[in-house]
Structures are given as structure tokens and as C-alpha cells.
Structure 1
Amino acid sequence: MPVTNIYKDQLGREVSIPYPPRRIISLVPSQTELLYDLGLDEEVIGITKFCIHPEEWFRTKTRIGGTKTLHLEEILTLQPDLVIANKEENTQEQVEYLMQHVPVWVSDIHYLDEALEMIESIGEITGKSEQADEIINNITQGFNRIEASKQDRAPLRTAYFIWREPWMVAGGDTFIHTMLGHCRLENIFAGTDRYPAIDIEHLRTRDCQLVLLSSEPYPFKEKHIAELQGLLPGVRVELVDGEMFSWYGSRLEKAAAYFRDFRERLGE
């Protein structure tokens, strides 16, 4: 008989999970990539249609809907012994339905420390603590180097765009906001809702120095740089890799170097 352990998730819930779990479903792209990097190829049986990394999993694993449009009965038919979800990226009603039937561990991440705690917890739950510790160490070293190199950088007043029609930006209390801080970029919408819709006219009054156009969830392209540049003369507009700013799993190993290179490219 498998051993069942009690683990606390990031909502503070106690979850009974078989150790180690053998049938895992991930409802979050960045956590799916983490499971791959932990070496859980055989154990992961289901992912969402947005779990594009790694490509081989995207092509071969069973897809159980989108992050907010889960195919609930299909998930239950797969008989998972662990579902990994996230408070922001998944819908509360759907996650609570799954909780009635299978073990669901939920992450809730706003800061780098919480991301590292999530990686450590999932490593422990899945019997991959050694691999998780290596990932955590790599991330920590990378971000320590950022902190050491950014002290002479003046913070740039920045708006991080995530959507068009309507224009929407990342506000405070978001992981994106935290990552902007690590880049020494001052989020001028830090005091707003998480993802407010904004008026470009209003942005002109905020002394904005830099606009970042994220590659996700809206797929901003080069043509949108010209559009924003015309609306905001004198403001620098740059495309950025949204996965680096918003994915809080093992992608953070790559994010630190990306942020250092990005600040060098800005040259300010």
C-alpha cells in the first residue's frame, strides 16, 4: 500500500497525497515545465493546452483544457493522485470541484521567495527534493548576481503592458511587479488593481520612461512598438519575453540572466 503524507499548500490547506504520486496533472504552464525539469516524465499524465514547454510534452501528453476552462470530468477519468493548481491562473470554482474528488495542491505566488517555496514543496511531494534543491540554488545564485549588479542603476519609471483593446498593464501584488523590481524598474501602476485597464492619455501624465510589451498573454509584435511610440512620443518602447517575467517555476533559472542582459541593452 502506498504511504499517504499530509502536505500544506500555499493557501494553508492540508492535503493528503500518496507518496510519491504516480499520476500527476498540472493545471499551470510554469509548473508543468518545473515537473519536467524535476524528471517526472512518467508521472505526469495530463497538462493544459497552454503548457507549451517542453514541446515533447505538449505534443504527447493528454491535454485537459485551458487553465480557466478545464475539462473536469476528463481530469477525473484520468484518476490523478495529485493535481497541481494555482490560485490566480485557475478558476476557484473549478479547482474547488476537483478538491472534492482528488488531492489538489494549490500555489499562490507573488514574490520570488514564494516561488522558491513552491519549487521546494513540489520537490518534496514528488520525491525529487535533490533536483528541486539544485534548481533553487541556481535561481538564488542568478538573482543574487542581479542584486549585486543593479545598485548603480537608476530605477526607470515603467509600464508593463499585457493586453491591447483595452490596454491593460500589470499592477501591484503581481509576480510581474516583483520581477520588474529585480530589474530595477519602477512599476508606475504599483498602487492599482492587479491588471487594470488604462487610458493612454492618462499614461502621458505619469512621467513614464519605459513601456514593456509582453509576449503573453497578448502576443505583442514589432508593429505594436510603432503604434505605442506614436501614442507616447519620447517614451522608450520594448518587446519583452513574458515567460521571463511571469513564469515562476524552473524558468526562473533563465530569467536572471535575461534580466541582466535586458538592463545592459537598455543602457541606462
Structure 2
Amino acid sequence: MKHLKDQLDRILHIKETPKRIVSLVPSQTELLYDLGLESSLIGVTKFCVHPHHIRTDVAIVGGTKQIHLDKIKALKPDIILCNKEENTKAIVDACEAICNVHVSDIFTIDDSLKLIHQYGEIFNKSKAAFDLLKSIKKEVKAFNTFIKNKPILKAVYFIWKDPWIVAANNTFINYLLKLNKFENVFENEIRYPEIELSESTINKDVDIVLLSSEPYPFKEKHRKDIQEFYPDAAIILADGEMFSWYGSRLAKAFKYFKSLRLNLENNQS
């Protein structure tokens, strides 16, 4: 019997390596796949899009905020994987009546690395977890060297339209913005505040506006809407997965961040 803690310090009593996994978080589904656990995945959300075939091969048990509890029960999972931000406490409580529930809580790179290590322990994938951790640490180190002497740019990161919502403090997105030396104009706000776009309310002293590809799918046409309010800023369609997915996606994210910064520099020259 293993007694392991999740990222909320909740104790999981694991008799044997879980073989039937339900994942209620897209980035964690991708992480499981990259740890070699695809054959153990029996349930995912409709938002679990990586790998692309997963929703065809595995049962869909709802979204991240609304689940089909009866479907999950019928799958007879050994463990259900949740996240404090993505899933509600009510969902976690309901799932605990079925089996062990692991809850992640991610604000920093270190939190992400700890999650990967925990999954390695829980699912007997320590070697795969070690290799992934090594890869991510290497990417972070190289990016920190690259970004070290770059100027700080004032930034706004939009995640939704109608109403307009931005990423602010106490979010993983804000943490990654800081790593990119993007000073979040809304850092004094908490989580994901709704803002009003008008001439009288916005701060025009902004260098870059990032329009995330998720959860709202910002497109080229939305750049014009935003440019009106931030006439001097670079308006970028950002890959939201790179800024908010905290599992194995981090092994790819820092090359993307480097490319993003280089493109900004090239467009300014």
C-alpha cells in the first residue's frame, strides 16, 4: 500500500498501480500520453484534444466543469485526475465516492515539475517522468539565458471576448508572462477579471497584446477590434496551449516563447 499526497496535500491510498485512468484535464491527458499511459486511459473530457485521436479511442465523460458521473462510474476507474482550477470542488467530491482522486494545483514551473514527478510515482513511470523532467529543465535553462537581457514589455493577455476577460495575477499564465519578461498590465487584479474596452478605461501604454487561442478562439479578425484600443501595441494571436498547459507541453513551450520574442524584434526593426 502506497500513501501518496496530491498537490492539495490530500492523501491517496494506493494498493497497486492504477490501470484504469479517467482524466478530467486536457493538459494532464496529454501528459499521461507522453508518459506512455495511453492504454490506461479509459475516460477523458471533450476538451482533451492531444493526442488528436484520443476522443475517438476513449470514452468522453463530459467537460471540465460538467461531468457525466454515471458514465465515469460505469467505466470503473482506479483513479480520477483533476485540477483545482479546471474542476470544481463538487466534481472532486463526487468523484471521490467512486475511487481515488488526485488533484493538481499549478501556479509555477516547479508545481508542474512536481506534478510530473507525482505521476511517475503513482503510475510506475518514474523513468519516463525523469526523462521528461530533464527535457523541460533543459528548455527552461536555455530560455532563461536567451531572455536574460531582453527588455521588459508591457502586456495584456486576453482569454475571452463578450465580455472581455484577461489573465491577471495568481494564474499560471501570469507566471509564464513574467518568464517571458512581459509585464502584465493587470497584475494587480486577481485571476481572470472582466474588463471594459473603452477609450476612458484602458491603459494605452502597452507594448504587446496577446489574444489567446483558448478558451476563446481568437482569430485574425479580432486583431482589428483590439488594435483600435491599443493603437501602438503589437497584436499577437498567441498559442494558448503554450501559455496555459502545464504538463509535457512545457517541453515545447520555450522554443515557442523564443520564436515569439524574435518575431517581435524582427517586426520592430
Distance 1:211 1:205 in 2: 12
Corresponding residue of 1:233? 231
C-alpha RMSD of matched pairs (Å): 1.2
Q: Which runs of 4+ in 1 moved over 6 A?
A: none
> Where do 5+ consecutive residues of structure 1 fail to align?
none
User: How many percent of aligned residue pairs carry the same amino acid?
Assistant: 45
Give the counterpart of 1:125 among 103, 122, 127: 122
How far off its partner does 1:101 sit? 2.5
| Preserved CA contact (<8 Å) 1:19 1:126 | no
Corresponding residue of 1:256? 254
Corresponding residue of 1:220? 218
Distance 2:4 2:249 in 1: 24
How far off its partner does 1:112 sit? 0.6
In structure 1, give the amino acid aligned to 2:91: Q
Range with bigger deviation, 24-33 or 53-62: 53-62
In structure 2, give the amino acid aligned to 1:219: P
The 5 Å alignment of 1:69-108 reads: 69-108=66-105
Aligned residue-pair number = 265
| Preserved CA contact (<8 Å) 1:17 1:82 | no
Distance 1:87 1:17 in 2: 21
In structure 2, give the amino acid aligned to 1:134: D
Corresponding residue of 2:152? 155
Corresponding residue of 1:65? 62
* Structure 2 CA distance for partners of 1:203 and 1:243, relative to 1, 3 Å: farther
* Structure 2 CA distance for partners of 1:157 and 1:203, relative to 1, 3 Å: farther
Give the counterpart of 1:31 among 20, 28, 33: 28
| Preserved CA contact (<8 Å) 1:213 1:238 | yes
Distance 2:255 2:201 in 1: 30
How far off its partner does 1:205 sit? 2.8
| Preserved CA contact (<8 Å) 1:157 1:185 | yes
How far off its partner does 1:204 sit? 3.1
| Preserved CA contact (<8 Å) 1:17 1:81 | no
| Preserved CA contact (<8 Å) 1:188 1:206 | no
Listed one character per residue, the Cα deviations across residues 22-58 of structure 1 (whole Å, up to 9, x for unaligned) are 1111000000000001111221111111000001212
The 5 Å alignment of 1:139-178 reads: 139-178=136-175
In structure 2, give the amino acid aligned to 1:66: G
Range with bigger deviation, 49-58 or 27-36: 49-58
Range with bigger deviation, 232-241 or 249-258: 232-241
| Preserved CA contact (<8 Å) 1:215 1:239 | yes
Corresponding residue of 2:207? 209
In structure 2, give the amino acid aligned to 1:171: A
Local SS of the residue matching 1:191: coil
Corresponding residue of 1:116? 113
Query: Is residue 266 of structure 1 aligned with residue 259 of structure 2?
Result: no
* Structure 2 CA distance for partners of 1:235 and 1:57, relative to 1, 3 Å: same
How far off its partner does 1:17 sit? 2.2
| Preserved CA contact (<8 Å) 2:81 2:102 | yes
Distance 2:230 2:150 in 1: 24
Local SS of the residue matching 1:142: helix
Local SS of the residue matching 1:200: coil
Query: Is residue 44 of structure 1 aligned with residue 26 of structure 2?
Result: no
Distance 1:179 1:7 in 2: 28
Distance 1:108 1:126 in 2: 19
Corresponding residue of 1:21? 18
Distance 2:184 2:229 in 1: 19
In structure 2, give the amino acid aligned to 1:6: H
| Preserved CA contact (<8 Å) 1:155 1:185 | yes
> Where do 5+ consecutive residues of structure 2 fail to align?
none
Distance 2:203 2:222 in 1: 21
Corresponding residue of 2:182? 185
In structure 1, give the amino acid aligned to 2:3: I
Q: Give the TM-score normalised by the residue count of structure 1.
A: 0.96
In structure 2, give the amino acid aligned to 1:122: Y
How far off its partner does 1:206 sit? 5.6
